[in-house]
Amino acid sequence: MTDFSKTRHMFDIPAGMIYLNGNSLGPMPKAAPKAINSFLMDEWRTELVRGWNTKNWFMQSNTLGDRLGRLMGAPAGSTVVGDTLSIRVFQAVAAALALAPDRRVILSDSGNFPTDLYMVEGLMGLRDVGYELRTPAPEDILDHITQEVATVMVTEVDYRSGRKHDMQAIIKKAHSVGATVVWDLAHSIGAIPVDVYGTDADFAVGCTYKFLNAGPGGPAFIYVAPRLLDKVEPVLSGWFAHEAPFAFDLNFRPMPGKIDRMRIGTPSIAAFSLLEAALDIWDGVDMLDLRSRSMELSQALIAGVEAKCPGLTLASPRDPEQRGSHVAFEFEHGYACMQALIAQGVIGDFRAPNIMRFGITPLFTSLEDIAHAVDILANILSAKTWQSPKFQNKALVT
């Protein structure tokens, strides 16, 4: 059994704060300062350029990819880390389209995270060969998977409501008509059990700064099914993906049959040191235990809010099996109310138009935290504290 009291003490959360926003940015692991200082003083300072060999920086995209891959059921050699999630979305969708050159439909849904759709729009503009992006309602996506579709691009867990797609059903339907699927696991990895290999996923991408706690702008990752590694096209053909990067050939030759072909350019080794410290915490975590505790905590939050906080309406699926690891409530004055909560040390966030969002992160969140947060929210609503003018003006980041 996973000892969550032990993992709680591995994070540096300010005293008196109840942090319910790990679905947006995870808190700092206590090991992070030592990790970054070790990189600075024991690697960069002493090794300089030699570190690419002596500290194995050149292969960290792969070694960290394998460590991270364990959390989503990826076999060794199928995941690399680096770049941003937006770049990885572009890379994965472009590779998926190259596998179906005669098809022109990219299928997503209207609940997908907007940047995923923006990246696809940009890709379609570059290709300019008549691609079409279709975005039906999330619950209707299965009905729209037809033989016209080249690839299905979906975020497994909806960033607003927490609604969870049935990825196994989507993959099965897509494969039955000759399409591929690109998963965005930004709100899945580190939040719910994921099995990319067992579900026969084609591609998966995600970030590490949410539930994985690698810090703001932590590196992204991409997974490619081993059965595709000898044929997938690295459209973003950077030198780290070359068969012989230090031969400095003028023409690109992708690394044959390896996930290395999905590397792009020089990664941030400093950021890798923080990711490594964050992944150390996960070595003692069983994902089934995590899921069980997440459901317990989320059910406690829902029950508490519905009993004590009139005016808030559950915006997430009520069945815990149908949602990820954050819970959303609709409230007409959600932004101001969230600012009032934050002012009292309960950190959640707001998503337009009226969603108050709370991350359920068992690594450091307890039932006592949930109960205390509900009581503070109830007092804010009762006293109408959110009406204060200081809570009305929207900040740049909500």
Mean pLDDT of 288-300: 98
Mean pLDDT of all residues belonging to the chain: 96
The answer on pLDDT for 284 being more than 90 is no
C-alpha pair distances (Å), 56 with each of 49, 51, 52, 132, 281: 11, 7, 5, 43, 22
The answer on pLDDT for 128 being more than 80 is no
- Model confidence pLDDT, tens digit, residues 243-259: 999 999 999 999 998 99
Q: How many residues does the chain have?
A: 398
- Model confidence pLDDT, tens digit, residues 58-93: 999 999 999 999 999 999 999 999 999 999 999 999
pLDDT > 90 fraction of the chain, expressed in percent and rounded: 96
Mean pLDDT of 304-319: 97
pLDDT computed for residue 398 by the predictor: 84
C-alpha pair distances (Å), 325 with each of 51, 98, 184, 192: 38, 34, 15, 7
Q: Is the Cβ–Cβ distance between 235 and 91 less than 8 Å?
A: yes
Tell me what percent of the chain is helix, strand and coil, each rounded to the nearest 5: 45, 15, 40
Confidence tier at 129 by pLDDT (50, 70, 90): confident
Q: Is the Cβ–Cβ distance between 71 and 262 less than 8 Å?
A: no
Q: Give the tokens for residue 313.
A: 């309406």
The answer on pLDDT for 127 being more than 90 is no
Instruction: Please give the full DSSP string across 111-166, using - where no structure is assigned.
Output: TS-HHHHHHHHHHHHHH-S--EEE---GGGGGGG--TTEEEEEEESB-TTT-BB--
Q: Which positions are catalytic?
A: 113, 184, 209-210, 357
Rounded distance between C-alpha atoms, residue 21 and residue 349, angstroms:
7
Residues 6+ apart with CB under 8 A from 125: none
Mean pLDDT of 157-180: 97
Which domains, from first to last, does the chain contain?
A: 4-30+286-391 (3.90.1150.10), 32-282 (3.40.640.10)
pLDDT computed for residue 230 by the predictor: 92
Rounded distance between C-alpha atoms, residue 350 and residue 24, angstroms:
11
Mean pLDDT of 261-280: 97
Please choose, from the candidates 7, 60, 15, the residue with its C-alpha nearest in 3D space to the C-alpha of residue 211. Answer: 7
pTM value? 0.96
pLDDT computed for residue 73 by the predictor: 97
